[in-house]
């Protein structure tokens, strides 16, 4: 019954979305607000209907309704309730419904946000663009990957097939929704960009209207990526967190182009430049989010983790082609308008040019990552032979680019707009450069000969010092002008100029991520050894002693738990319990539960690789220095991002 | 306009530099990616640092020496018959999801005389792809318990 409601409301939504698309288009073309108002109400209704559909599917999961093929394939009775909920997006069909839900939510919020704007024609056009995207996904979920597909009555099982054990983790509860929300979020700036191209309202207004949407999407996409790598680290048990797999790259590439966009729009707002470039960036960012959604589901590239091959390929290819042709076609149509009235760059040593360098490097990273991921296809097309590149390629190419990006992060805020004076440079650069050199010399003196690592740490200290100086200057200036004490000044600084000072918080987080990645990539120690009870092994400075083994029984799995004492410098500091689990529904796929001893300095990562009947175990131990700085950095960045998203406290809002 | 040219030149230099990095990267670390059958047909095509192959693990061919961490098995293309295989030797920890019929991606060197692939990396494709029409018969728990170490 409820399932029928879910399915039917999905079908009604499709009809309604077509109506909204037509109605908003009519409203925009005829400049008749009545159509626009009706379209807006339609968008609200769509959100309600898709919420009903989503609730119906969720209800089916919670109540173990295995008459639904999707529920039967991804859930089981004994699954924990929170995993029953996250099984919603555990497969292709459900994750596309979640896509729709997110899009309808964002569209409704966007419509609500702009409800009072009667002057700008790009708003109804933006509705139309969003509805076209919506219709595409509605067609997919209605006709190709319908999550409400019923099994024939004779095939309804007593219990479901269960959720893949690897997905039964907390990481998997949050990583997919964050990533998908991030993907979907870019639909809003994209819709506004296309709408602005249609109407010719090419000033910075559409950028201002979507600024927070872009940032929100960027934060969510970044968070999704980091959560995914945290999940890989915790769950997959190979000791790493990023493998440059095509599926990972597919979600990293739009993040890179979005980062470029996020920075370059500031130049457009400030200096009325780069209009063409910004259009280009938002169009490719959106295209890459669709491409990423597609790649995970297509089986086009050899990846270690993807959904099964499905029949959606052609639909996506057509949609992506149409999107690109129309968006870039409009851009060409408006090319002259976009070019006119632009200011020009004045000096190499200006903030604009460092922003541009930042953009080039980010696009270079995106291109290299895309090229490396697609190379098997490209080479096969050109030469007939498939040639692949692995992590070494990405590390070799991307590491120098990332280092340049890192140092620009520090340099950029120090250089004034338009043209920096040499006095400005001297004043701003001396102290950070001293710190850079000190860090480098110190590391060399400590015997570190890893050139990239040394550079990375030195650049990090440079960036951190510049950020501290920026805060210091701001506080001092406020103290001088307004007579505020340092604490009030800091508070007011953060409050009045969220974008700038919140942006620096994001930068601090990014630098922390750099530090963590550098430590865990350059200085990792790995050992594997087989142990009998009572024996011990050394992993770097730690000694692991195999004390005991026990069996643990839970409703949906059984596990072998191994007790290992950890000794450091002859003193017992902890007992860790790596385990191996056999889930009832997946008896042939044992999964390892990693034992982690986390600290800011390093992680001791221990995995039970195998166990024999005799009780002999094979243990793999890894020391990952500084790795937790990655996760902490992500949290700091998120806090910074959320802070910038808060309503502006500074100048009075200028209604346009 | 002149100034704009200057910036264009700078941008082009940077783009060429990035392109060069990518080109060198591909040249240095690109390896052929082929199926087992393709490898057997053209064993000479592997580069100095080896080749990457995909295949599926043949049932009953898996052997793992625990204390030496030595995994040996036979791999073939999913659709070809069982005689068209290569022997694979891999030293390292056996991944959890490694089992008969698993799809694996291997990197290493192939010796045609021994029909032996010495793998340096072994990746198992994520087993979350189950798109069959019918759910399997309910799983037998008794069978399962045999897998878990008894006693201990």
Which ipTM score applies to this complex? 0.80
Q: Check CB contact under 8 Å for A307 and B128.
A: yes
Q: Can you give the pLDDT at residue A311? A: 74
Q: What is the pLDDT of residues B4-27, one digit of tens each?
A: 778 888 889 999 999 999 999 998
Residues 325-364 of A with CB under 8 A from B: 344-346, 348, 353, 356-357, 360-361, 364
Which run of H or of E encompasses B64?
Answer: strand B63-65
Three-state secondary structure readout of A299-319: CCCCCCCCCCCCCCHHHHHHH
CATH architecture group of domain A525-625: Sandwich (2.60)
Most A-contacting residue of B49, B71, B97 (CB-CB within 10 A), to test interface: B97
Q: Is any Cβ of chain B less than 8 angstroms from the Cβ of A382? A: no
For the stretch A140-165, pLDDT in tens is: 999 988 999 999 888 899 999 888 88
Interface of A with B in 50-109 (CB under 8 A): 72-73
Please give the pLDDT value at position A163.
87
The arithmetic mean of pLDDT across residues A11-30, rounded, is: 96
Question: Which range has the worst mean pLDDT, A187-196, A320-329, A544-553, B105-114?
Answer: B105-114
Closest CA–CA distance from residue B29 to any residue of chain A (Å): 6
Contact (CB, 8 A) for A570 and A542? no
Q: Find chain B residues with C-beta within 8 A of A383's C-beta.
A: none
Q: Which whole number is the average pLDDT over A18-32?
A: 95
Segment (H or E) for A75: none
CB atoms within 10 A of CB A468: 15
Band of pLDDT at residue B131, cut at 50, 70 and 90? very low
Chain A residue numbers touching B53 (CB-CB < 8 A): none
Contact B25 A166 (CB under 8 A): no
Pairing verdict, β A579-583 and A557-568: antiparallel
**Percentage of chain A with pLDDT > 90?**
71
User: Which residue did the predictor score with more confidence, A288 or A171?
Assistant: A288
Say whether A401 and B21 touch across the interface (CB within 8 A): yes
Query: How far is Cα A401 from Cα A414, in angstroms, rounded to an integer?
Result: 20
Q: Which helix (H) or strand (E) holds A370?
A: helix A351-383
Q: Do B135 and A161 touch (CB under 8 A)?
A: yes
Which chain A residues are Cβ-neighbours of B67 within 8 angstroms?
530, 616, 618
- The pLDDT score that the predictor gives to residue A253 is 97
* pLDDT for A444 beyond 90: yes
Q: Residue with structure tokens 């019954």?
A: A1
Instruction: Read off the pLDDT of residues A128-138 as tens digits, 9 standing for 90 and up.
Output: 999 999 999 99
What is the reported pLDDT for A523? 94
| pLDDT of the residue at B80 | 79
Does A304 sit within 8 Å of B131, measured CB to CB?
no
Cα dist. A591→A287, A557, B145 in Å? 36, 10, 16
* H or E element in which residue A531 lies: strand A525-531
Give the closest-approach CA distance of A20 to chain B in angstroms. Answer: 35
| CATH ID of B32-129, from 2.40.50.140, 3.90.180.10, 2.40.10.10, 2.80.10.50 | 2.40.50.140
Helix (H, G, I), strand (E, B) or coil at A41: helix
**CA-based nearest residue in chain A for residue B140:** A584
Would you call A260 an interface residue with chain B, using a CB distance cutoff of 8 Å? Answer: no
Residues of chain B neighbouring A613 (CB-CB closer than 8 A): 149-150
Q: What is the DSSP letter of B72?
A: E
pLDDT in tens, B57-78: 998 889 988 778 889 999 998 8
Cβ contacts below 8 Å, chain A against chain B, sum to 183
* Residues A222/A637, Cβ–Cβ less than 8 Å: yes
What distances in angstroms separate CA A350 from CA A268, A362, A422, A467, B9, one per listed residue?
Answer: 15, 19, 11, 18, 17
| Cβ–Cβ under 8 Å, residues A273 and A352 | yes
Cα angle, residue A365 at apex, residues A359 and A369 outer, rounded to 5°: 145
Evaluated on CA atoms A197, A203, A205, A211, the torsion sign reads positive
Inter-chain touch A357–B150, beta carbons under 8 Å? no
Q: How far is B110 from chain A (nearest CA, A)?
A: 16
Q: Which of B15, B92, B148 sits opposite A551 (nearest CB)?
A: B148
Return the number of other C-beta atoms located less than 10 Å from residue B18's C-beta.
20
Q: For testing the chain B interface, which of A92, A388, A554 should be mutated: the one with the most B CBs within 10 Å?
A: A388
Tell me how far apart the alpha carbons of residues A619 and A529 are, in angstroms, rounded to a whole number.
6
Tell me the per-residue pLDDT of A226-240, one tens digit each, with 9 for 90 and over: 999 999 898 887 888
Assess whether pLDDT exceeds 90 at residue A286: yes
Q: Output the average pLDDT for chain A.
A: 91
Q: Please answer whether residues B136 and A316 qualify as being in contact, where contact means their C-beta atoms are separated by less than 8 angstroms.
A: no
**Contact criterion met (CB < 8 Å) for A610 and B29:** no
Does B7 contact A353 at a Cβ distance shorter than 8 Å? yes
pLDDT at B47: 61
CA angle, A354 then A358 then A364, to 5°: 140
A419 touches chain B (CB under 8 A): no
Q: What is the pLDDT of residue B134?
A: 35
Q: Which of A345, A368, A618 sits opposite B69 (nearest CB)?
A: A618
**pLDDT tens-digit series, residues A294-334:** 887 766 665 555 555 567 888 898 999 999 999 999 999 99
User: Averaging pLDDT over each range in A384-388, A428-432, A437-441, A471-475, which range is the top one?
Assistant: A437-441
């Amino acid at each position: 019954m409820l399932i029928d409601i879910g399915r039917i409301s999905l079908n009604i939504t499709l009809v309604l979305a077509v109506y909204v698309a037509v109605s908003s288009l009519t409203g925009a073309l005829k400049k008749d607000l009545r159509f626009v108002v009706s379209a807006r109400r339609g968008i609200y209704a769509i959100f309600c209907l898709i919420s009903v559909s989503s609730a119906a599917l969720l209800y089916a999961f919670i109540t173990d309704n295995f008459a639904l093929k999707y529920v039967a394939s991804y859930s089981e009775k004994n699954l924990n309730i929170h995993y029953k909920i996250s099984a919603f997006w555990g497969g292709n069909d459900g994750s596309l419904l979640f896509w729709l839900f997110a899009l309808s939510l964002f569209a409704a919020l966007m419509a609500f946000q702009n409800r009072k704007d009667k002057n700008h024609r790009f708003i109804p056009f933006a509705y139309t663009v969003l509805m076209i995207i919506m219709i595409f996904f509605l067609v997919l979920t209605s006709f190709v990957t319908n999550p409400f597909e019923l099994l024939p009555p004779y095939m309804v099982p007593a219990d479901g097939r269960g959720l893949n054990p690897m997905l039964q983790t907390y990481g998997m509860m949050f990583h997919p929704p964050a990533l998908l929300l991030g993907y979907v979020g870019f639909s809003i700036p994209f819709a506004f960009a296309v709408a602005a191209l249609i109407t010719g309202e090419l000033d910075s207004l559409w950028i201002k209207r979507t600024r927070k949407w872009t940032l929100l999407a960027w934060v969510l996409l970044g968070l999704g990526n980091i959560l995914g790598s945290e999940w890989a680290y915790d769950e997959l048990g190979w000791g790493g967190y990023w493998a440059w797999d095509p599926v990972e790259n597919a979600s990293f590439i739009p993040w890179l182009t979005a980062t470029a966009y996020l920075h370059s729009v500031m130049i457009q707002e400030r200096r009325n430049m780069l209009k063409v470039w910004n259009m280009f960036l938002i169009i490719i960012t959106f295209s890459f989010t669709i491409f990423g959604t597609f790649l995970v589901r297509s089986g086009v590239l050899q990846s270690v983790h993807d959904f099964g091959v499905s029949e959606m390929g052609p639909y996506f290819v057509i949609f992506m082609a149409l999107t690109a042709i129309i968006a870039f076609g409009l851009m060409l149509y408006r090319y002259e308008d976009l070019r006119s009235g632009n200011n020009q760059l004045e000096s190499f040593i200006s903030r604009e040019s460092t922003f541009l360098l930042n953009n080039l490097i980010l696009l270079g990273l995106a291109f290299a990552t895309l090229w490396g991921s697609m190379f098997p296809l490209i080479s096969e097309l050109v030469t007939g032979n498939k040639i692949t590149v692995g992590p070494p390629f990405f590390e070799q190419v991307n590491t120098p680019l990332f280092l340049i990006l890192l140092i620009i992060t520090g340099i950029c805020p120090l250089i004034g707009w338009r043209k920096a004076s040499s006095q400005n440079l001297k004043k701003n650069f001396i102290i950070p450069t001293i710190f850079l050199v000190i860090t480098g010399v110190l590391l060399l003196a400590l015997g570190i000969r890893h050139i990239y690592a040394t550079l990375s740490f030195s650049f990090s200290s440079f960036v951190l010092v510049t950020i501290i100086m920026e805060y210091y200057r701001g506080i001092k200036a406020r103290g001088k002008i307004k007579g505020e004490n340092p604490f009030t000044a800091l508070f007011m600084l953060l409050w009045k100029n969220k974008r700038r000072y919140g942006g620096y918080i994001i930068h601090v987080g990014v630098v922390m991520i750099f530090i963590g990645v550098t430590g865990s990539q350059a200085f990792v120690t790995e050992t594997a050894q087989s142990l009998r009870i009572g024996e011990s092994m050394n992993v770097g400075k730690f000694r692991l002693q195999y004390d005991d083994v026990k069996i643990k029984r839970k409703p949906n799995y059984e596990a072998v738990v191994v007790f290992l004492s950890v000794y450091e410098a002859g003193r017992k500091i902890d007992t860790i319990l790596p385990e191996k689990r056999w889930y009832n529904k997946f008896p042939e796929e044992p999964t390892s539960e990693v034992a982690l001893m986390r600290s800011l300095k390093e992680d001791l990562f221990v995995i039970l690789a195998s166990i024999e009947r005799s009780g002999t175990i094979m243990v793999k131990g890894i020391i990952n220095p500084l790795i937790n700085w990655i996760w902490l950095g992500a949290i700091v960045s998120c806090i910074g991002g959320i802070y910038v998203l808060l309503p502006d406290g500074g100048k009075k809002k200028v209604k346009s | 306009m002149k100034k704009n040219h200057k910036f264009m030149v700078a941008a082009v230099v940077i783009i060429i530099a990035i392109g060069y990095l990518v080109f060198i990267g591909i040249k240095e670390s690109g390896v052929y990616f082929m199926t087992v059958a393709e490898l057997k047909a053209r064993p000479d095509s592997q580069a100095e640092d080896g080749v990457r192959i995909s295949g599926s693990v043949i049932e009953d061919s898996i052997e793992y020496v625990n204390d030496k961490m030595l995994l040996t098995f036979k791999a073939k293309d999913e659709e070809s018959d069982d005689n068209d295989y290569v022997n694979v030797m891999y030293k390292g920890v056996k991944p959890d999801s490694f089992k008969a019929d698993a799809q694996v991606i291997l990197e290493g060197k192939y010796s045609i005389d021994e029909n032996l692939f010495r793998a340096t990396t072994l990746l198992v494709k994520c087993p979350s792809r189950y798109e069959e029409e019918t759910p399997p018969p309910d799983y037998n728990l008794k069978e399962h318990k045999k897998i878990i170490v008894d006693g201990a």
